Amino acid sequence: MNDTQQTRLAREAGQRLLAEHMSEDPFAAAFKATRMPMLITDPRQDDNPIIFCNTAFCQLSGYSEEELIGRNCRLLQGTDTDPEAIAKIRQAIAAEADLSIDILNYRKDGSPFWNALFVSPVRNEAGEVIYFFASQLDFTNIKSKEAELARARHIAEEEVADRTADLTNALKAKTLLVHEVDHRVKNNLLTIASIVKLQARMSEDDTARKTLRSVLNRVEALSTVQRKLLNDDDVGHFDVADFAQELVHDLVSALRRSDIRVTTDLHEVVVPAAKASPIALVVNELIGDAVRRGLGDGGGEIHLEVRRLNGHFLIRVSDTVSPVEADREEQAFSAMMLETSARQLGAKIEKTVEGHRTDVRITLLVDEHKD
Amino acid sequence: MRIMIVEDEALLALEMESELEAAGHEVVGLAAESKTAKELIGAAAPEFAFVDIQLLDGPTGIDVGRELASQGVPYVFVSGNLKRIPDDYAGAIGGIEKPYTVNGFQNALTYLVAYVGGMRGAQVPPSLVLASSAQAA
């Protein structure tokens, strides 16, 4: 069967179909006039040709009715039409089933358009499929908006990736800088301590040496704070118990006095970095004071407690020592250090002395400021 | 012990030297950068060394440490940032973190002298961080 013959058969089938509907049939009129591109194919003819199509379809495809009648719908397919979509249409036709699918089609002039295709079999009274009805909808605009959105999203994502990389680098640089500064601070603190120690070594004057040792003691308390500050991942916070543990160990082991016994009851209390130094000095003065008063022959017991108590933070040092006459100047200086540091912290000092027993309680609110 | 100090801060090195001598040790070499330090290992034959990580020629203390370890000289790192020590501790016994205190340093020294002398099981002072290999030993 040649092309002309096939076209003729398709045209005749279309005319038969029209003849079944009177010219005033509102359904046929609607089919012809609707802006929705539609066509009908005849599956009982060879290659399921188009036997009827409306003006809207001609406008969409760019083909004239003459060019379309007798042709299979695959003339709309082109280079970038998805073979999977074509296979689905073929399967739906073979299975005589409805199908709704988005497919890239081509106009007569070769320009592509996105087609929201709906194919549906039409059955006669016996239930046999006698036609396929297909409607098309050009959604190229929507598709290009989608592409535009995807492109915009892609650009935005790239921007985010760039910004994230920038921020990561900035953070890396900042971390490096913090570590560098921390390194310098540590070295400087140790250099300050070394200077004081060197001078104390060279000094022939007992009082000068004592004074230098007293200064060194406070410098070292602050050095220990600096060492503890950046050690954790939780930069900017400071565990007082951890600090107190090391301070006590340092101070007492250096005395080499088995008659001065130290007990501790330490619980983690984390404070903001800004409070670390005054708290460290408070602990340092309390222990130092007890040690100085207990440096006589009798020795004694020193107990250090660090914990939270009813929403407050408690540092308590109690000692039972055989008191000796401590250096008055040194004791006065230590008291001033303690009071000043406590004032900075807004802490309360309660001191009770009963016989040989001294009990000092320092209480402060820990989370009262967001430092 | 015959001790070598590898430290680029002259005042810290000087003070450490005084401290070690006061404790009865002999400081046989001072180096502020890695080249001198490596030469001293052979020339001064130290029995022990304190090694800072950040030296005049950069973070080369680790290299110096590896050289010490390869020549069988026990040593510890002394640094403001112990996290810079590699996981294997480059053969070091451990590390002392700056800024150490007089007492912290003395406690560490006492422990280290005993350790090098073969003593094990003593309580490690908080001022000294032991390498995992030294903890196992």
Interval A250-259: pLDDT, tens: 877 777 777 8
CB neighbours of B117 closer than 8 A, spacing ≥ 6?
Answer: none
Q: Is the pLDDT of residue A233 over 70?
A: no
Buried b / exposed e over A114-134, threshold 16 CB at 10 Å, is bbebbbebeeeeeeeebbbbb
Give the orientation angle of helix B102-116 with respect to helix B10-22, to 10 degrees: 60
Interval A24-53: pLDDT, tens: 677 778 888 888 999 999 999 999 999 999
- Domain containing residue A18: CATH number: 3.30.450.20
Q: How far is CA B3 from the centre of its chain?
A: 9
Do the Cβ atoms of B126 and A245 come within 8 Å? Answer: yes
Whether A203 is covered by a domain: the verdict is no
Interval A101-114: pLDDT, tens: 999 999 999 999 99
Q: How far is CA A245 from the centre of its chain?
A: 36
- From A138, A157, A173, give the residue that closes a domain: A138
Interval B33-50: pLDDT, tens: 999 999 999 999 999 999
Q: Is the pLDDT of residue A309 over 90?
A: no
Q: How far apart are alpha carbons B116 and B25 in whole angstroms? A: 13
Range of the domain at B17: 2-136
- Domain containing residue B132: CATH number: 3.40.50.2300
Q: Is the pLDDT of residue A1 over 60?
A: no
Q: Which carries the bigger pLDDT value, residue B120 or residue A209? A: A209
- Helix (H) / strand (E) element for A352: namely strand A348-354
Q: How far apart are alpha carbons A318 and A315 in whole angstroms? A: 10
Q: What is the mean pLDDT of residues B84-108?
A: 92
- From A90, A109, A138, give the residue that closes a domain: A138
Task: For an interface test with B, give the residue of A182, A187, A223, A243 to mutate (most B CBs within 10 A).
Answer: A187
Per CB-CB distance under 8 Å, the chain A contacts of B18 are: 197-198, 201
Q: What is the mean pLDDT of residues A301-312?
A: 88
On the question of a cis peptide bond just before residue A26, with omega within 30 degrees of 0, the verdict is no
Range of the domain at A77: 3-138
- Domain containing residue A247: CATH number: 3.30.565.10
A183 → closest Cβ in B11, B19, B81: B81
* pLDDT in the model for residue A368: 43
- Amino acid, res. A189: L
Q: Give helix then strand counts, H and E, for chain B.
A: 5, 6
Q: Give helix then strand counts, H and E, for chain A.
A: 10, 12
Average pLDDT of chain B, as a whole number: 92
Name the least confident of A18-27, A37-46, A83-92, A357-366. A18-27
Local structure of residue A81 (DSSP, 8 states): S
Whether A210 is covered by a domain: the verdict is no
Q: Verify that A134 and A7 share a domain, yes or no.
A: yes
Q: Is the pLDDT of residue A176 over 90?
A: no
Question: How does residue A17 score in pLDDT terms, banded at 50, 70 and 90?
Answer: confident
- The pTM assigned to this predicted structure is 0.68
Interval A241-287: pLDDT, tens: 989 988 888 877 777 777 888 899 999 988 888 889 999 999 999 98
Please, are residues A302 and A249 in contact by the beta-carbon 8 Å criterion? no
Task: For an interface test with A, give the residue of B78, B102, B123 to mutate (most A CBs within 10 A).
Answer: B102
Q: How far is A191 from chain B (nearest CA, A)?
A: 6
Do the Cβ atoms of B99 and A201 come within 8 Å? Answer: no
CB neighbours of A301 closer than 8 A, spacing ≥ 6?
Answer: A260, A261, A262, A263, A319, A320, A321
On the question of a cis peptide bond just before residue B99, with omega within 30 degrees of 0, the verdict is yes
Q: Is the pLDDT of residue A231 over 70?
A: no
- From A106, A138, A170, give the residue that closes a domain: A138
Give me the number of domains chain B comprises: 1
Per CB-CB distance under 8 Å, the chain A contacts of B80 are: 182-183, 186-187
Q: Which carries the bigger pLDDT value, residue A339 or residue A311? A: A339
Q: Give the torsion through C-alpha atoms of A189, A190, A196, A200, to 10 deg.
A: 160
* pLDDT in the model for residue B136: 63
Q: Which carries the bigger pLDDT value, residue A25 or residue A72? A: A72
A198 → closest Cβ in B14, B101, B107: B14
Whether A110 is covered by a domain: the verdict is yes
Whether A93 is covered by a domain: the verdict is yes
CB neighbours of B121 closer than 8 A, spacing ≥ 6?
Answer: none
Give me the number of domains chain A comprises: 2
User: In chain B, what are the helix, strand and coil shares in percent, each to the nearest 5?
Assistant: 45, 20, 35
